Amino acid sequence: MSSKNANLGTEPIGKLLFTMAAPAIAAQLINVLYNIVDRMYIGHIDQIGPTALTGVGVTMPIVTLISAFSYFIGMGGAPQAAIHMGKGDNEKAEKILGNCVTGVFCISILLTAIILLFGEPILLALGASENTLPYALDYISIYAIGTIFVQMTLGLNPFISSQGFARISMFTTLIGAILNIVLDPVFIFVFGLDVRGAAIATVLSQCVSALWVLKFLTGKTTILHIRKKNLRPDLPLLFSIMALGISPFVMQSTESLIFICFNTSLQKFGGDLAVGAMTILSSCMQFAMLPIMGLTQGAQPITSFNFGAGNVQRVKQSFRLLLACCFVFTFCLWSAVMLVPQLFVGMFTAEAALSTVGIWALRIYMGTSCLFGIQTACQQTFIALGEAKSSVFLAVLRKIILLIPLIYLLPVILPDGVTGFFLNESVSSLLPQPNQVASVLLSEPIADFLAVCVTSLLFVHKFPRILETIPARPTAQEK
C-alpha cells in the first residue's frame, strides 16, 4: 500500500477531512464559475442582457444533464476504486478506471449527436419562447461540441481525489475556470459574439481541464493509471459502476427535469420575467450545493477506504464531522440569503424588474435550505459505502416523488390567502398571476423539508446495520 493511501487509514480524521475537503470545496466553488460567470457577463450585455440571460437559463437542463452523465460513470466508479484500494487490490481499481474512461467517451458521442440533431424542439419543450429561443440555440449548439471535454473532466476527476490527490483535483477546475473568466469578456465583448462567445469560452476552458486530467492519470505521479488493456468494456463491471452511479446521476439529471417543470410552470403563470428569475435562483442554489459536494468529495475517499479496510470507528468519525460541516455551511448560506438577497441577485442583473422579482423569489425558494446539508451528508455517505439502493431512493424521493408533483399541485390547491402572505405590491404588479408563481416557488422548501425528515430516519436505521457487515479492526492508535 502506498504512503499516500496509508494516510487515509491513519491520519486524524479532522485533519484528513479538511486536507481533502478544502481543495475539493475550492474546486466546486471554482466549478460554479463556469456557468455562473457566463450568466453574469450575459446578463450585463447592453440591450439584450435580460432576454439573453433567460435564453441561456433555458439551456440549463441540458447542461445539467451532460454533467449528470459524467457523474453516472465517475461517481459510480471512484468510490468502488477507493474501496478496492483499501483492500489492497489496485489492479481491480485500475480496471474500474479504464472502463470509466470508455464509458464517458461513448456517452459523450451519443449526447453530442442528440443535442445537435434535436436542439430546437428540446429547447421549445424546456420553455424557450420566440424571444429567447435564438439565444438558447446559439449557446447550446456550441456547448454541445464540448460535451466530450465536460465528460472527461467531471467523469475522471473523482479518480484523482479518491487517490488522495485533492490539490491536483482542485487544479483541474481551477485551470479551466480561470481561463473561462479571462476568455468570457474577450469573446463576448471584444469580439462581439455575445452568447456564442460565452459558449466558445466555456468549451475551450473545459478542453484544457480535460487534457490536464488525462495527462495526470497517464503520468508518473498517479497511483492508478489509465492502461490500454483496461479500456475494453467489461459489461458486468460497467453495470456495477452504473448501479452505484445511479444515485448521483438521478440527483443531477433530475435537476434537468426540475428546471423543465419550473420553467414551463413559471412561463405559464409569470412569463419570461419569472423564467429569468428562475435562472438566478438556480444559480444561487448552486452556491449551496457545490461547496457541499466538495465536502462530500473530500469525505468520500476517507469513508470508502476505511470501509474497505474494515475500520468502523474511522467511518463513523468521518460521517459525524461531514454532517456537522455540511449543516453549518448551509445554515450560514441560508442566513445570508434571508438577510441580504440583493447581493446574490445583483451579481446577475441590474435590470429593475428582474431584480425585484428575483429578490422576492429567492427568499421563498431557499426557505428551508438551511437543512439541506443533513440530507446531502447522509445520502453521499450511502454512496461512499457502496449502498446504491438507499442513495437512489433518497435521490428519487426529493425530486420525483415530492418536488415535481408539488410544482403542479400547489398552484391548484393553495388558496390565495396563503400565497398572498408572501406577496408585495411591487411584485404583484410585475407578474400576470403572482399567487400562482408564489405557489410554484413554495414547492422547493416544502419538498426539501420533507426529504430531510425521511433521509434522517432512514440513515439512523440503516447506518449501524451497514457497519455491522464488516469486521471491526483496531485503529493505528490502538495497535
Q: Which tens digit of pLDDT belongs to each residue from 73-119?
A: 888 888 888 888 878 888 999 999 999 999 999 999 999 999 999 98
- The CA-based dihedral angle spanning residues 43, 200, 33, 455, taken in that order and rounded to the nearest 10 degrees: 100
What cell numbers appear for 298 in the block? 473530500
Residue 3, in any domain of the structure? no
Is 305 part of any domain? yes
Mean pLDDT of the region 353-362 = 91
Q: Which residue segment(s) compose the domain that 36 sits in?
A: 9-467
**pLDDT tens digit string along 160-191?**
887 878 778 778 878 888 898 889 889 988 88
Give whole-number Cα distances, 5 to 9, 63, 89, 121, 226, in Å.
7, 34, 12, 49, 18
Cα angle 332, 338, 343 (rounded to 5 degrees) comes to: 90
| DSSP letter (8 states) at residue 187 | I
Domain membership flag for residue 134? yes
Q: Cα separation of 164 and 426, whole Å?
A: 52
Predicted confidence (pLDDT) per residue in 245-254, tens digit: 887 787 777 7
- Does a structural domain hold residue 378? yes
pLDDT tens for each residue of 290-308: 778 778 878 888 888 888 8
Domain count, the chain: 1
The three-state secondary structure class of 12 is coil
Longest Cα separation, the chain: 70
Residue 100 lies in a domain: yes
70 in a structural domain? yes
In the predicted model, is pLDDT for residue 478 greater than 80? Answer: no
pLDDT in tens, 5-17: 447 666 778 777 7
Residue with cell 473532466: 153
